Structure 1
Amino acid sequence: SGLFLVAPIMGHRSIPAQVKVGLAILFAIVVIPGVPSVELPSTGSTLDLVGLVLCELMVGILLGFFFTLIFKAAEMAGAMTGFQIGLVVAQAFDPNAGGQVAIIGRFWIALAGLIFLAINGHHLVIQAFNESFQIIPPGQMVVNGDTGEIMVRYTAYALVLAVKIASPVIVTLVLTDVAMGTISKLMPTMNIFIVGFPLKVGVGLIVTAMALPVLSYVLQKSTAYLNESVGELLQSMGKA
């Protein structure tokens, strides 16, 4: 299933491909008894069979990407926070992203993963995977304008979520910049750059630590919201 290519936790690059294949086979064995009996489209050629396989793969990929939006929001929030704090040069290699990401972004992604597991988010993904076979029988998947509109809408939701997560730090640091600008006018002899950089780092990290409960709450609510909305995505890909 394409679910194990991009799904949160289960689709991580650190998980060996053999494990993902084994999980996909195991899940298939478990859900097969509950799959409704339908007449599959004619597969008179290898090309038709490949098309059916790609359709089923696409369902899993879209489903996994849908739940991954939470982690993308945490990563974007970390990048915005790191830029505001001044830690944009402090980056670490992320094997899942295949490139460099901000240190705070890595921290928030790891925290989002822990929260996701703590609230049984992986169970929600598995449940949605099972429901997909009830709503979209094998060979009955369609992609239309509604599917694209839903994905665009929830991707925009992830962007808004990222701003909400990062907003406490961003607002605090903007006020800090205003305060430092005022001080530099009142005390022209002070080297505001030497004082300002460590001050912004300290204030940013303190506010980040204080905002962790808010981050936990927002991620829990967002996971529940996506779980309630995943049926809309599945319905858009199922034939009436």
Structure 2
Amino acid sequence: MTSLVADRDTGTRHADRLRQALEADIVTGVFKPGERLDEQRLADRFGVSRTPLREALAQLAANGLVTLQPRRGAFVVSLTFQEIVERFEMMAALEGMCGALAARRLDEADRAALVASLEECRHEAAEGDSDSYYHANEAFHQIIYRAARNAFLAEQTRQLQTRLQPYRRLQLRAGRRVATSFAEHERIVAAILAGDAGTAERELREHVLIQGDRLRDFFASLAHAG
């Protein structure tokens, strides 16, 4: 039984790594919108069997980056840059609402969790690894969703957060974005702890909208490099 669990955990880690690699290739244009992702070629490229690869493709489909078509395979979703920016605009509105409600409804458990999460973000920002910071950042936002005490709003926000994961991860690699992001986190937490709903909403909206702007800059730098 222990061996089966270990094998399953190993397979999940392989699938997660494959997903992250494929996410980066899709977001940066290595794979073009509408392009078919050939399973055998990808398996050969990464030196894996098709099982973790198919799991990775299923995760990408859940995130809205690919579509899985019966008997045809996986295809990259055709999202324009404008459509991506529009999703960031909606994300900003939803997160702002979560921040405003969290400022009004924060209980002691969520207060402690938020402060601890901010310290974890501080640690990861100091380390300077954007991917490690991304995971701490994701947990930080999840605490705010929960603290809003609105299950439907939290569900909708998490769904869009999942769809934007690769883009939010990627924009953290641009310039000094990690340090700037953490400074924004500090202002967000200060507003929520103070019970200032208006400031919390504004800070969270601007925090996410900046992500869209930074993403635009990142894509522009890729195009220039190419």
TM-score, normalization by structure 1: 0.30
Q: Quick one: higher RCO (CA 8 Å, sep 6+), 1 or 2?
A: 1
TM-score, normalization by structure 2: 0.31
Structure with the greater alpha carbon radius of gyration: 1
